[in-house]
């Protein structure tokens, strides 16, 4: 690992700041290991290399993790040999209808496997992503009641290659909060609904598993957890 004094002209803490280790396709093994240590996770070099390769592949597909450190934390968590998913997606369907006299209707249906139990739910929402978010929460809240406190606080979409028209790659950034903390996750792909789903899954897993484990201390700050009492940008829809 590099000596931080070789590229910092001053210790950030002396002026009220803190050093952050950013993760991107330019990161190396030492960077990833330092990030895992900052997160409070026990990650081997082999596991760090695996996550780093995954991040490089995903960034080539449109992801950016610098503003979505909760997605990095979740991937480091998944690299553990003891990792078991909270749930497994079997399928989901999103319908958008525009009926004369009734306006637009968005409905999502989600089927997931939770420890061998098949749960199939449906929900209507204010747009397809909201409907998908509500359907996923509805499927999980019986097993994880703390989900009732989760709120989708911000949802941003960026078109990466506008020249491709409707076939362009879309990056989705989601901010979620639980009344105490707020965190960010990312998804990307040519299908905006699929990209939103990927960001939603990271957000739910981070909130349910990682945020509970790391609490509100220094590791929480490293994971990108922010107090909901701090000033936040206006929500863009």
Residues 191-205: pLDDT tens digits? 999 999 999 999 999
Token code pair at residue 146: 């703390």
Q: Residue 125 and residue 134: Cα distance in Å, rounded? A: 7
pLDDT surpassing 70 at residue 138: yes
Share of the chain above pLDDT 90, in %: 45
Residue 74: pLDDT over 60: yes
- Length of the chain in terms of residues written: 237
The predicted model scores a pTM of 0.78
- Domains of the chain plus CATH, in order, are 4-78 (no CATH), 87-143 (3.30.160)
Q: Is the dihedral of CA 52, 54, 57, 59 positive or negative?
A: negative
pLDDT band at 236 (very low <50, low <70, confident <90, very high): very low
Rounded distance between C-alpha atoms, residue 37 and residue 111, angstroms: 36
Greatest mean pLDDT among 3-17, 45-59, 103-117 lies in: 103-117
**pLDDT digit string, tens, across residues 118-135:** 999 999 999 999 999 999
Q: Is the pLDDT of residue 235 over 50?
A: no
Burial of 17 (0-12, 13-18, 19+ CB in 10 A): exposed
Q: In this predicted structure, what is the pLDDT of residue 184?
A: 94
């Amino acid at each position: 690992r590099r000596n931080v004094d070789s590229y910092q002209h001053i210790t950030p803490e002396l002026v009220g700041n803190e050093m952050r280790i950013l993760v991107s396709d330019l990161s190396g093994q030492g960077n990833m290991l330092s990030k895992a240590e900052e997160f409070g996770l026990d990650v081997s070099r082999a596991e760090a290399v695996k996550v780093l390769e995954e991040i490089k592949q995903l960034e080539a597909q449109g992801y950016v993790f610098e503003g979505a450190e909760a997605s990095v934390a979740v991937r480091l968590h998944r690299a553990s040999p003891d990792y078991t998913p909270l749930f497994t997606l079997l399928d989901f369907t999103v319908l958008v209808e525009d009926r004369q006299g009734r306006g637009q209707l968005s409905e999502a249906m989600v089927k997931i496997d939770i420890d061998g139990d098949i749960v199939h739910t449906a929900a209507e929402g204010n747009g397809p992503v909201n409907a998908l978010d509500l359907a996923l929460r509805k499927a999980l809240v019986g097993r994880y009641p703390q989900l009732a406190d989760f709120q989708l606080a911000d949802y941003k979409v960026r078109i990466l290659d506008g020249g491709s028209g409707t076939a362009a790659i879309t990056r989705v950034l989601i901010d979620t909060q639980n009344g105490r903390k707020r965190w960010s996750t990312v998804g990307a792909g040519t299908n905006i609904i699929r990209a939103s789903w990927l960001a939603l899954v990271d957000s739910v897993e981070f909130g349910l598993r990682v945020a509970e484990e790391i609490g509100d201390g220094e590791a929480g700050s490293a994971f990108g957890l922010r107090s909901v009492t701090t000033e936040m940008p206006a929500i863009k829809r």
